[in-house]
Amino acid sequence: MTLSIHSAGREFAGEVRDIDLRRPMSQADVAAIEAGMDCYAVLIFRDQPISDDQQMTFTKNFGRIENAQGGTITKDDEYRLKDGMIDVSNLDKNGQPLDRNDRRRMFNLGNRLWHSDSSYRAVPAKYSLLSGRVVAAQGGNTEFADMRAAYDALEPQMRAVVEDLICEHSLIYSRGSMGFTELTEAERAMFKPVRQRLVRTHPVTGRKSLFLSSHIGAIVGWPIPEARDLIRDLIEHATQREFVYAHTWRQHDLVIWDNRQTMHRVRRFDESQPRDMRRTTVAGDRMTVEQTAAGQ
Ligand SMILES: [Fe+2]
């Protein structure tokens, strides 16, 4: 049977049916999913009880798995999952929910801010694939916002303002905006800001989108408060309900999103209960703008 893609209630979210992600993909399947991603930007696969290895094998159909280093304060010996898997759960190495004041939990709360995965890397991510192994009984939705539609809806004057702007992205900024500022020197060095264009063009469809993220803390050449005011304004614009799809997780859902065309955030849930979500990330293949010699 060939896979089929159906609208999932918002024009940029599709549901893929008639596919088993545990099995090897044909070239035609991979091409159909890529084409679906270019068209929709978020794809949902229901009832996919996959293992970590199966998730990584499936992910590699779309490119190289991104190196996770530099994206977390969790130390190597605290890590719960194998190399290549990103732990987006609320669990420690022993499968227990993290304590309220655990530094890792406080850092991870940054995922509740609208963001694009790895926008703080010089080469930002292509796709993220998130598998719901144990989902929250209530809450814990992941919301997605369509940055193409947000760009298209800008007033012409605002388009002219944003067109050539370069932003600085860092985990220091997103965590700092939540009051989490206690970073070590090594962490600060690891989270050194990178530059990204504010308006980017999709390499396949040629559509423009706003490359927004809570990791943005500055705009090159702008006073900081003015930059943050504009970014807040744009994020508010881009996350109006008409641009947002809220995904209510069922166990064994797998959701893929294109970080080049969307932002996302997770919503509140009962953190005394396990929520085991596992991500793989497909690395991007280009910078949106050259970095300076200093890496900024
Ligand atoms: Fe994320």
Distance 292 CA to ligand 1 centre (A): 26
Give 254 Cα–ligand 1 centroid separation in angstroms.
14
pLDDT of residue 69: 87
For the residues of the chain, what is the DSSP string, one character each?
---EEEEEEETTEEEEES--TTSPPPHHHHHHHHHHHHHTSEEEE-S----HHHHHHHHGGGSPBPP-TTS-S--GGG--S-TT-EE-SSB-TTSPBPPTT-HHHHHHGGGGS-B-TTTTSSS--SEEEEEEEE--SSB--EEEEEHHHHHHTS-HHHHHHHTT-EEEE-HHHHHHTTT-----HHHHHHT--EEEESEEE-TTT--EEE---TTEEEETTS-HHHHHHHHHHHHHHHTSGGGEEEEPP-TT-EEEEETTTEEEEEPPB-TTS--EEEEEEBPPSS-SSPPPTT--
Q: What was the pLDDT predicted at 35?
A: 97
CA of 114 to the centre of ligand 1 (A): 8
Residue 108 alpha carbon to ligand 1 centre in Å: 10
Q: How far is the CA of 113 from the centre of ligand 1 (A)?
A: 9
**What is the mean pLDDT for each group of 10 consecutive residues in the chain (296 residues)?**
85 95 96 97 98 98 94 91 95 96 96 98 98 97 98 98 98 97 96 98 97 98 98 98 97 98 98 97 97 63
- Cα(157) to centroid(ligand 1), Å: 31
CA 111–ligand 1 middle distance (angstroms): 6
Rounded distance from Cα 118 to ligand 1 centre (Å):
8
Question: 266 C-alpha to center of ligand 1: Å?
Answer: 8
What's the 125 CA to ligand 1 centre distance in angstroms?
A: 11
Give the pLDDT score at 206. 97
Exposed / middle / buried, residue 281 (Cβ in 10 Å: 0-12, 13-18, 19+): buried
Q: How far is the CA of 119 from the centre of ligand 1 (A)?
A: 10
Distance 230 CA to ligand 1 centre (A): 22
Q: What is the pLDDT of residue 296?
A: 45
Find the 109 Cα to ligand 1 centroid distance in Å.
11
116 CA to centre of ligand 1 in angstroms: 6
Which pLDDT does position 293 carry in this prediction? 59
Cβ within 8 Å of residue 280, ≥6 positions away: 55, 56, 59, 65, 84, 85, 86, 128, 129
Contact at 8 Å (CB) between 175 and 103? no
